[in-house]
Amino acid sequence: MSESESANIFKIKSNAIMKTIFLNVNELVILKLMKNNKKIKSIVNIQKSNYEDYFQIEIEITPEKNKLGKFVNIPENWRNLFHIYLNNNDKQTNISEIHNTNEINSIKIKIDISNNNSLSGLFRNIKCIKEIIIKKLNRKNINDMSYMFAGCSSLKKLLLNNLNTINVTNMSYMFSGCTSLTELNLNGIDTSNVKNMSHMFNGCSSLTELDLNGIVTSNVNDMSNMFNGCSSLKKLDLNGIVTSNVKNMSNMFNGCSSLTELNLNGIVTSNVNDMSNMFNGCSSLTELDLNGIVTSNVNDMSNMFDGCSSLKKLDLNDIDTSNVNYMSYMFNGCKSLTELNLNDIDTSNVINMNHMFSGCTSLTELNLNDIDTNNVTNMSNMFNGCSSLKKLNLNDIDTSNVKNMSHMFNGCSSLKKLNLNGINTSNVNDMSHMFNGCKSLKELLLNHIDTSNVTNMSNMFSDCSLLIELNLNDINTKNVKDMSHMFNGCSSLIELNLNDINTKNVKDMSHMFNGCSSLKKLNLNTINTSNVNNMSHMFSYCSQLKELDLSSFNTINVTNMSSMFYNCSSLKKLNIYYFSNQSLNNIDNIFDGCDSLNSLSCQNELINNSFKKN
Cα(43)–Cα(19) distance, integer angstroms: 8
Spatial contact of 350 and 325, defined as CB atoms under 8 Å apart: yes
Q: How many Cβ atoms are within 10 Å of 256's Cβ, its own excluded?
A: 26
pLDDT at residue 39 in the model:
43
The Cα-based distances of 187 to 159, 160, 263 in angstroms read 10, 9, 20
Cα(582)–Cα(595) distance, integer angstroms: 28
Q: How many Cβ atoms are within 10 Å of 295's Cβ, its own excluded?
A: 22
Spatial contact of 373 and 353, defined as CB atoms under 8 Å apart: yes
pLDDT at residue 309 in the model:
98
Residues 6+ positions from 497 with CB-CB distance below 8 Å: 471, 472, 473, 523
DSSP one-letter string for 169-233:
-B-TTSSTT-TT------TT---TT--B-TTTTTT-TT------TT---TT--B-TTTTTT-TT-
Eight-state DSSP code of residue 27: G
Cα(468)–Cα(470) distance, integer angstroms: 7
Residues 6+ positions from 483 with CB-CB distance below 8 Å: 457, 458, 477, 503, 506, 508, 509, 512
pLDDT at residue 114 in the model:
66
Each residue of 208-263: pLDDT tens digit?
A: 999 998 899 999 999 999 999 999 999 999 888 899 999 999 999 999 999 999 99
DSSP one-letter string for 60-84:
EEEEPTT--EESS---GGGGGGEEE
Using only C-alpha atoms, what is the Rg of the chain? 35
* Residue segments in the chain with a per-residue pLDDT below the cut of 50: 1-55
Cα(325)–Cα(91) distance, integer angstroms: 62
CA nearest 152: which of 134, 174, 127?
A: 127
Provide the residue ranges of all domains of the chain, joining segments of one domain with +: 3-46, 55-194
Residues 6+ positions from 49 with CB-CB distance below 8 Å: none
Cα(562)–Cα(550) distance, integer angstroms: 16
Each residue of 535-555: pLDDT tens digit?
A: 999 999 999 999 999 999 999
The alpha carbon torsion through 274, 267, 270, 245 (nearest 10 deg) reads -80
Residues 6+ positions from 462 with CB-CB distance below 8 Å: 433, 435, 436, 437, 485, 486, 487, 488, 489, 490
Cα(141)–Cα(452) distance, integer angstroms: 66
